[in-house]
């Protein structure tokens, strides 16, 4: 990751009208990819929990929810920074960021339910249900720009297939590094939660 940040700062080209802020793109988009991937895993884990009734899937869902929300927080921080040169201000209720904020708030509710929901087995079922339902917002995020008011569809547009190698290669490298980092974080967090669950069961 240190190499990735160095590569972004030193080797990626400036973009007219965005300058240094555009370099946020190499963090913003991979963070969004990893966040949405993680929420997809939450949905799959929820479905598997209902099918199998295995606590393992509850653990996977919780771990993925935690890490996904961490990366979505990064999206909500970097998005306005990247787009401020275009907007002229940090926030204008741009469609994708707004629907991403809604998803983030849904998961804040998810964690509150986990913490204060009462009976453990009931909480696991509710969490699985909410994780499945919450993923509905992900495709809404991608199509929101088609239905939102045109005057605020001003978030920078990046068509990756048309980008020169100086942009495309560092982007793909960053995407790969973020994905590998996510896999390692998920594996570690699942292990930690398993230990915590076992400790509670032994009390």
Residue 75 lies in a domain: yes
How many independent structural domains does the chain possess?
Answer: 1
**How many other CB atoms are found less than 10 A from the CB of residue 30?**
25
Rounded to whole angstroms, how far apart are CA atoms 197 and 203?
10
pTM: 0.88
Residue 4 lies in a domain: no
Q: Which domain holds residue 60?
A: 19-146+165-202
- For the stretch 25-48, pLDDT in tens is 889 999 999 999 999 999 999 999
Residue 55 lies in a domain: yes
Residue 108 lies in a domain: yes
pLDDT for res 152:
56
Residue 12 lies in a domain: no
Q: 185: pLDDT confidence band, cut at 50, 70 and 90?
A: very high
pLDDT for res 124:
94
First to last CA, the chain: 39
Residue 158 lies in a domain: no
Mean pLDDT of the chain: 87
Residue 154 lies in a domain: no
Within 8 A by CB and 6+ apart from 66, the residues are 111, 189
């Amino acid at each position: 990751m240190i190499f990735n940040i160095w590569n972004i700062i030193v080797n990626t080209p400036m973009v007219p009208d965005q300058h240094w802020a555009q370099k946020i793109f190499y963090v913003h988009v991979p963070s969004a990819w990893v966040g949405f991937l993680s929420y997809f895993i939450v949905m799959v884990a929820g479905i598997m929990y209902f099918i199998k009734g295995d606590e393992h899937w509850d653990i996977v869902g919780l771990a993925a929810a935690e890490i996904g929300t961490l990366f979505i927080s990064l999206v909500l921080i970097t998005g306005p920074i990247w787009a401020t040169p275009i907007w002229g201000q940090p926030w204008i209720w741009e469609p994708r960021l707004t629907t991403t904020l809604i998803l983030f708030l849904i998961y804040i509710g998810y964690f509150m339910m986990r913490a204060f929901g009462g009976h453990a087995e009931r909480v696991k079922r509710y969490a699985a249900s909410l994780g499945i339902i919450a993923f509905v917002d992900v495709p809404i995020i991608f199509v929101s720009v088609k239905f939102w008011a045109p005057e605020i569809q001003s978030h920078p547009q990046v068509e990756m297939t048309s980008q020169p190698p100086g942009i495309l290669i560092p982007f793909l490298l960053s995407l790969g590094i973020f994905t590998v980092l996510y896999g390692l974080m998920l594996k570690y967090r699942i292990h930690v939660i398993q230990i915590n669950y076992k400790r509670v069961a032994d009390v």
